[in-house]
Chains A and B, each alone.
Chain A
Amino acid sequence: MKINDVILQTVTKIVVFIILTFGVELFISGHNDPGGGFSGGLVLASALLLLYMTYDIETVHQGIPFDFKKIAGLGVFLAVSSSAIPMLFSNQFLTQKKGEFALAVFGNTELSMVLLFEAGVALTVVGVVVTILLTISEDVS
């Protein structure tokens, strides 16, 4: 099933970046404003979905050669292991710490352990959603 829709393809090329940026923005702002790992991940996944729908799977795969099952696995690993890190410092499982760090570009930035955890959530969501959709659509073709 070859889709040849010039308008859609042209729009997608630009819009995908907007959606991706929006997803990252949602992910980062989730600490104090609406957003977070889950919705950020879903938005990222929908950007990828748009790509897959506009172009075919092979083309997208050339640009993004990831195995999304592995990304989902990485996400789960990140979330679970970052939850376990506090135990190494004699804290309870899932203790979330934060601190202010002076970073090169961003200036004084507040970083929190929960960021790793949320990143795990986001990666899992992206991985699982794309995996399910790809598996089903590959089954179609």
Chain B
Amino acid sequence: MIIPLLILVPFVASLFVPLLYTYVHSKKIGWLVLPFPLILFIFLCFQIPKLGAGDSLFYTIHWLHAANIHFTTHLDGLSMILGLLITGMGTLVVMYSIYYLSEREALGRFYMYLLLFMGSMLGVVFSDNVLVLYVFWELTSVSSFLLIAFWHQRKNSRAGAKKAMLITVTGGVGMLVGFLMMHQMTGTYSIQEMIGMAGTLPAETLFVPAMLLILLGAFTKSAQFPFHIWLPDAMEAPTPVSAYLHSATMVKAGIYLVARFIPVFGESELWFYSVTFVGLITLFWGSFNAVRQNDLKALLAYSTISQLGLIMSLLGIGSAAMLNLPGVDKTLYTAAAFAGLFHLINHSTFKGALFMIIGIVDHELGTRDIRKLGGLAIFMPITFSIALAGSFSMAGLPPFNGFLSKELFLEASLAVQQLALPGVHVWIPIVAWVASVLTFVYCMIIVFQTFFGRQQQQPAWVDRGAHDPQPGMLLAPSVLGVMIVALFFFPNVLAKWIVQPAMGAIYPSFGNPETLVPHIAAWHGFTPAFWMTIGIILFGAVLYIFLPQWRRVYTIAPFSWRIDTIYTLLLMQLEGNSYHLTNKYMTGHLHRYFTYIMLFFIAMMGTALSLVWRLAFNFSEDSVVTLNEYILVFVMMIAALAILFVKSRLIAILLNGVLGFTVAFLFVVLRAPDLALTQIVVETVTTVLFLLTFRFMPDWKKETPRRPVKMLNIFIAVASGLIVILTALIVQGNRLFEPISKYFEDAKTLTGGGNIVNAILGDFRAFDTMLEIVVLFIGGLGVYVLIRLKDKKGGDQNEDQ
């Protein structure tokens, strides 16, 4: 019961934050938000021992039985890692935001979105039902959209938000189709049950499409090549958001999904190839592009892409353990998956710290451009120290946690060569090594170009009063900085308590997860990985020193290409084409729209009538028509026909009223007082409406349409009239389904209500009624908005830029 509550808490909190903000209209609102992630984090920490013992928490809220969709939550080792990151980083980011965002910002909105994201992200990692997972998955996209466009007055923010939304949601929809295919194959929406059936799946025809579609969702979300283009543009978001969503948590959702589905798809070679190769390409392309950035935040964005690729490729290599190749030491590959999870945690610590540091630099000095920065070390010693720890950790240097995972990564890249698979050669460790060298280079750029050199700049910083920010702002990055060092010295504590249960979740069939966890040591002896690290440092240093000389490489053809161009082109094509297409049929003529609607109706009902009922009549059960009814129907016919020939609009409206009230009378005669009553009141209200809109109507003038139009009008009128009559006649005598009238006869015992009409409205079909009033409400608001907007037309149309 407690896990669904964990998901619910941030959502409920996000509802109340804007309300609270009207009372606490200052930065202090952040302190009221802070307890939510903190309490969730502490609660999750208390569950660690339980999971360490190999348990997992499962709880199902039964929901839609008919569709087999239940709100099932599952807390195991893998979701625990993500859960701790979401709540832990959430706490730090909220703390940092309190100092980062100024009082003038719309803080209520900001924290609301942030909590909304937190809840949806927890929903993604704790859901066992794939459809529920999908909903939360898209909710993270939506909240990310809102957060990127937080400064919506800026054009770039809106463009970045749109791009992120389009790409991640496209992937998400693909993933949904993949999930549905999985349901087709397994008959369940539960991930754990799918894992149970994993052995029989590869033979299915839908196996490969489902796998690729699910990977599409994961790759778009985790900014893998070639879908990575949204992440740099997402950096338009406020820095705490970048640190939280776009480096520590949301972009890890794709990685989580891949790790989650390794037990299902791991036995497929295609899975191994896609995940590993896409990861490696992303790793290289991200690090290669990071080096050329001048904006520190853009640099970090590409570095995040690259690091996500690294984790992805590690998971790919890790899935090789499931391939069942002969003569393969599986522990070599499970160690890769372990390294992936370990690096997942490490990356969140150092990248989170770096984002916050760059936010501080930006906040204090007003620029993030490395061409303008320099020599800040003596002004901002604490900021500098944390930046040093973060960058060196990312570069893979001791004594920081990144060193350990980088070594494990290099070992994994060497291990993968031993697989007897086509396409797997020595190039994998080479790509890994080259990307690591480039990673080293951009890490040095962060440290040295921001904090050293440029002596001539220093007086300018003195003038601007450059100094470390207030302690509160430094608190969150400092916590991460301490973790970067602490994880270097005590990695095995983390490995045993947090990563080991997750390994059990990735390899459920491999028995005791304890055997899957390698012992991490900083010193392995003179292994190949050690020499590769030495090489990285040497080559990296050389490349960094000669960076100005070789930077021109980026202007040469294959390296200067940008995937953005394709995206922009596609989008422009799409917008242009849909614009033309829509203009073709949305002409603004009401007559046209009625024609579409009625023609569609005729086509649908006509087909149904002729195919399903085959125009079979059966009048045997009809009751006798009385004289009263004949008279009323006759009056109605006269009124309806008369409308066609009247000269003034007022008379037409009145005749329409006659028609309506006669229908009400007919209901009375047929002993349906409810309907009669409603019909009378509706007629009254409608007549008043008519009177109100009367003076807006243009003059009633005789139209003489062209002959084809006239023929079409006649056809529509006759055909739709005929169809309605036929439907009424046929439906009466032909039963396609078991009649439901026995429900109505037993209404009193079933619902306790004596009025059958209301028993239907309020109980049997209450869901319809509920949605109908929602529609009514939306319609009412629509009228209000349309008329009010019309009023304001011509007023303030300028957009804030």
Interfacial residues, chain A to chain B (CB-CB below 8 A): 26, 30-39, 42-43, 45-46, 49, 53, 69, 72-73, 75-76, 79-80, 83, 93-94, 96, 98, 110, 112, 114, 117-118, 120-121, 124-125, 127-129, 131-133, 135-137, 139-140
* Option from B681, B758, B773 in Cβ contact (under 8 Å) with A79: B773
User: Closest residue to B771 on the A side, CB-wise?
Assistant: A80
A37: B residues at CB distance < 8 A: 758, 761-762
A118: B residues at CB distance < 8 A: 758, 762
User: Closest residue to A129 on the B side, CB-wise?
Assistant: B685
* Option from A39, A49, A80, A121 in Cβ contact (under 8 Å) with B688: A49
A32: B residues at CB distance < 8 A: 753-755
- Establish whether residues A133 and B688, one from each chain, have CB atoms under 8 Å apart when the complex forms: yes
- Establish whether residues A112 and B681, one from each chain, have CB atoms under 8 Å apart when the complex forms: no
* Option from A30, A43, A72 in Cβ contact (under 8 Å) with B780: A72
21 example contacts (A-B, Cβ-Cβ < 8 A) are as follows A31-B752, A31-B755, A31-B758, A34-B673, A34-B677, A36-B758, A42-B681, A76-B777, A79-B769, A80-B774, A93-B767, A110-B752, A112-B753, A121-B769, A124-B777, A125-B773, A129-B780, A132-B784, A136-B693, A139-B790, A140-B695
- Establish whether residues A140 and B674, one from each chain, have CB atoms under 8 Å apart when the complex forms: no
- Establish whether residues B776 and A124, one from each chain, have CB atoms under 8 Å apart when the complex forms: yes
If A31-B753, A98-B752 are given as contacts, then 16 extra A-B residue pairs at C-beta distance below 8 Å, sorted by A number, are A31-B755, A32-B753, A36-B758, A46-B681, A49-B685, A69-B780, A72-B780, A73-B777, A114-B753, A114-B762, A118-B758, A124-B777, A129-B780, A131-B780, A131-B781, A131-B784
B693: A residues at CB distance < 8 A: 136
Complex Cα–Cα for A133 and B688 (A): 8
A139: B residues at CB distance < 8 A: 787, 790-791
State which residues 738-785 of B face A: CB under 8 Å: 751-755, 757-758, 761-763, 766-767, 769-770, 773-774, 776-777, 779-781, 783-784
Complex Cα–Cα for A33 and B696 (A): 41
- Establish whether residues B787 and A96, one from each chain, have CB atoms under 8 Å apart when the complex forms: no
- Establish whether residues A132 and B783, one from each chain, have CB atoms under 8 Å apart when the complex forms: yes
- A136 with B770: in contact, given A32-B754, A35-B674, A53-B688 (CB under 8 Å)? no
- Establish whether residues A117 and B776, one from each chain, have CB atoms under 8 Å apart when the complex forms: no
Question: Does B574 lie at the interface of the complex (its beta carbon under 8 Å from any beta carbon of A)?
Answer: no
- Establish whether residues A36 and B780, one from each chain, have CB atoms under 8 Å apart when the complex forms: no
- Establish whether residues A127 and B763, one from each chain, have CB atoms under 8 Å apart when the complex forms: no
B777: A residues at CB distance < 8 A: 72-73, 75-76, 124, 127-128
Report the minimum CB–CB distance from A117 to chain B (whole Å): 6
Complex Cα–Cα for A45 and B774 (A): 18
- A124 with B773: in contact, given A35-B674, A139-B791 (CB under 8 Å)? yes
Complex Cα–Cα for A120 and B776 (A): 12
Complex Cα–Cα for A119 and B673 (A): 21
Complex Cα–Cα for A117 and B758 (A): 11
User: Closest residue to B763 on the A side, CB-wise?
Assistant: A96
Complex Cα–Cα for A79 and B775 (A): 13
- Establish whether residues A36 and B688, one from each chain, have CB atoms under 8 Å apart when the complex forms: no
- Establish whether residues B787 and A136, one from each chain, have CB atoms under 8 Å apart when the complex forms: yes
Question: Does B648 lie at the interface of the complex (its beta carbon under 8 Å from any beta carbon of A)?
Answer: no
User: Closest residue to B786 on the A side, CB-wise?
Assistant: A135
B767: A residues at CB distance < 8 A: 93-94
Contact bitstring B321-346, A, C-beta under 8 A = 1, else 0: 00000000000000000000000000
User: Closest residue to A52 on the B side, CB-wise?
Assistant: B688
Determine which residue in B757, B769, B779, B791 has the highest number of CB atoms from chain A within 10 A of its CB, and name it: B769
Report the minimum CB–CB distance from B661 to chain A (whole Å): 15
Contact bitstring B686-720, A, C-beta under 8 A = 1, else 0: 00110011011000000000000000000000000
- Establish whether residues B674 and A133, one from each chain, have CB atoms under 8 Å apart when the complex forms: no
Complex Cα–Cα for A112 and B767 (A): 17
Question: Does B568 lie at the interface of the complex (its beta carbon under 8 Å from any beta carbon of A)?
Answer: no
Complex Cα–Cα for A19 and B784 (A): 26
A45: B residues at CB distance < 8 A: 685
- Establish whether residues A132 and B754, one from each chain, have CB atoms under 8 Å apart when the complex forms: no
Question: Does B534 lie at the interface of the complex (its beta carbon under 8 Å from any beta carbon of A)?
Answer: no
- Establish whether residues A128 and B766, one from each chain, have CB atoms under 8 Å apart when the complex forms: no
Q: Which 8 A-B pairs have the closest CB atoms?
A: A32-B754, A128-B780, A42-B681, A34-B673, A124-B773, A36-B758, A114-B762, A34-B674
State which residues 105-134 of B face A: CB under 8 Å: none
Report the minimum CB–CB distance from A96 to chain B (whole Å): 5
B598: A residues at CB distance < 8 A: none
B678: A residues at CB distance < 8 A: 38-39, 42
Report the minimum CB–CB distance from B165 to chain A (whole Å): 27
- Establish whether residues B770 and A69, one from each chain, have CB atoms under 8 Å apart when the complex forms: no
Report the minimum CB–CB distance from B157 to chain A (whole Å): 30
Complex Cα–Cα for A33 and B481 (A): 72
* Option from B685, B695, B755, B781 in Cβ contact (under 8 Å) with A69: B781
B689: A residues at CB distance < 8 A: 132-133, 136
- Establish whether residues A36 and B788, one from each chain, have CB atoms under 8 Å apart when the complex forms: no
Complex Cα–Cα for A46 and B769 (A): 21
Report the minimum CB–CB distance from A138 to chain B (whole Å): 8
A49: B residues at CB distance < 8 A: 685, 688
- Establish whether residues B774 and A30, one from each chain, have CB atoms under 8 Å apart when the complex forms: no
- Establish whether residues B754 and A31, one from each chain, have CB atoms under 8 Å apart when the complex forms: yes
Determine which residue in A30, A38, A76, A79 has the highest number of CB atoms from chain B within 10 A of its CB, and name it: A38
Report the minimum CB–CB distance from B688 to chain A (whole Å): 6
* Option from A36, A94, A135 in Cβ contact (under 8 Å) with B783: A135
Question: Does B682 lie at the interface of the complex (its beta carbon under 8 Å from any beta carbon of A)?
Answer: yes
Complex Cα–Cα for A53 and B696 (A): 18
- A36 with B757: in contact, given A94-B766, A135-B784 (CB under 8 Å)? yes
Complex Cα–Cα for A79 and B692 (A): 30
B685: A residues at CB distance < 8 A: 42, 45-46, 49, 129, 133
- Establish whether residues A38 and B752, one from each chain, have CB atoms under 8 Å apart when the complex forms: no
- Establish whether residues A43 and B688, one from each chain, have CB atoms under 8 Å apart when the complex forms: no
- Establish whether residues A39 and B754, one from each chain, have CB atoms under 8 Å apart when the complex forms: no
Complex Cα–Cα for A36 and B674 (A): 9
Complex Cα–Cα for A110 and B752 (A): 10
A114: B residues at CB distance < 8 A: 751, 753, 762-763, 766
Complex Cα–Cα for A115 and B595 (A): 42
- Establish whether residues A76 and B774, one from each chain, have CB atoms under 8 Å apart when the complex forms: yes
Contact bitstring B653-681, A, C-beta under 8 A = 1, else 0: 00000000000000000000110011001
Complex Cα–Cα for A133 and B681 (A): 15
A117: B residues at CB distance < 8 A: 762, 766, 769-770
User: Closest residue to B676 on the A side, CB-wise?
Assistant: A34
Question: Does B577 lie at the interface of the complex (its beta carbon under 8 Å from any beta carbon of A)?
Answer: no
* Option from B692, B770, B788 in Cβ contact (under 8 Å) with A140: B692
A38: B residues at CB distance < 8 A: 678, 761
Determine which residue in A79, A112, A127, A140 has the highest number of CB atoms from chain B within 10 A of its CB, and name it: A79
- A135 with B774: in contact, given A36-B757, A128-B779 (CB under 8 Å)? no
* Option from A36, A42, A79 in Cβ contact (under 8 Å) with B682: A42
B628: A residues at CB distance < 8 A: none
Question: Does B684 lie at the interface of the complex (its beta carbon under 8 Å from any beta carbon of A)?
Answer: yes
A30: B residues at CB distance < 8 A: 755, 758
B769: A residues at CB distance < 8 A: 79, 117, 121
- Establish whether residues B751 and A96, one from each chain, have CB atoms under 8 Å apart when the complex forms: yes
Complex Cα–Cα for A95 and B695 (A): 47
A34: B residues at CB distance < 8 A: 673-674, 677, 755, 757
Report the minimum CB–CB distance from A32 to chain B (whole Å): 3
* Option from B753, B757, B773, B790 in Cβ contact (under 8 Å) with A120: B773
Report the minimum CB–CB distance from B513 to chain A (whole Å): 35
User: Closest residue to A132 on the B side, CB-wise?
Assistant: B783
* Option from A42, A73, A80, A133 in Cβ contact (under 8 Å) with B770: A80
- A136 with B783: in contact, given A31-B753, A35-B755, A96-B763 (CB under 8 Å)? yes
- Establish whether residues A121 and B773, one from each chain, have CB atoms under 8 Å apart when the complex forms: yes
A26: B residues at CB distance < 8 A: 677
Report the minimum CB–CB distance from A26 to chain B (whole Å): 7
- A79 with B770: in contact, given A114-B763, A124-B777 (CB under 8 Å)? yes
B763: A residues at CB distance < 8 A: 96, 114
A137: B residues at CB distance < 8 A: 692
- A125 with B776: in contact, given A31-B758, A49-B688, A140-B695 (CB under 8 Å)? yes
